[in-house]
Amino acid sequence: MKAIPLSSGIQPSRSLSDKSSEKAGVVCSGSLLGHVERANPSTLTGFATTYELQLGAPLCNALTGSVEGSYRAAQRAAAPHRGQFGRVVKFDLQNSSLHILRQGRGSSRVVYTVSVVVERYGRDMERLSRNVVTANKLVDCREVTNEVVREAVEAALQQVADDTWSLLVARLDGPRQHGGSSDLVPAAPQR
């Protein structure tokens, strides 16, 4: 078995200067935090190596970065209570799968897909929305190495961080903090 470490520094590739002025609580579910992704060997495809990735902390860090990029501040909280935060964003792992396939002519393909449930709650802890963000990455290669597997998984984590940021920005409501200053600007109406 090959344990492959993942970067815990994946952040959304864009940022917003017109963030919500509210502080957000971030909750990563226990199933997300504890998830270990495995690609088991298949004698039918000729692979004999099992790859194992501790997905939980790197994925939670990337998702927390998405919240930090759209709200004035973000703080992880195991069980936020009513009134503790202006908004709470809860994340849960819906699906994660890593496949390594042998292609024709000696090439291989690494495919990784991840789906995350994103729930937004108001100050009163009433759910405002529930969405699913899905990301996937496909890497064709001559030889499957730790680096190729890491590249596929980290690229999908980057995509899920970017898409989660976009989702959160599209759903921002309430006053905005323009350009990092304390000047509050009313939010555009929610569509």
Question: 2-14+23-173 adopts what CATH topology?
Answer: Rossmann fold (3.40.50)
Q: Name the percent of the chain lying above pLDDT 70.
A: 85
Q: Which of 138, 144, 93 is nearest to 116 (CA)?
A: 93
Domains of the chain, residue spans? 2-14+23-173
- The pTM for the full model equals 0.87
Q: Specify the pLDDT at position 131.
A: 97
Amino acid at 8: S
- At residue 43 the predicted structure's pLDDT band, cuts being 50, 70 and 90, is low
Instruction: Decide if pLDDT at 83 tops 60.
Output: yes
Instruction: Decide if pLDDT at 41 tops 70.
Output: no
Check residues 108 and 106 and name the one with the higher pLDDT. Answer: 108
* CA 67/CA 157 separation, integer angstroms: 15
- At residue 178 the predicted structure's pLDDT band, cuts being 50, 70 and 90, is low
User: pLDDT (tens digit, 9 = 90+) per residue, 108-143?
Assistant: 889 999 999 999 999 999 999 999 999 999 999 998
Asked whether 70 and 168 are in contact (CB, 8 A), the reply is: yes
Sign of CA dihedral 12, 131, 52, 29: positive
Instruction: Decide if pLDDT at 51 tops 70.
Output: yes
Q: Specify the pLDDT at position 175.
A: 67
Q: Specify the pLDDT at position 19.
A: 85
Distances (CA, A) of 154 to 28, 114, 167: 18, 11, 20
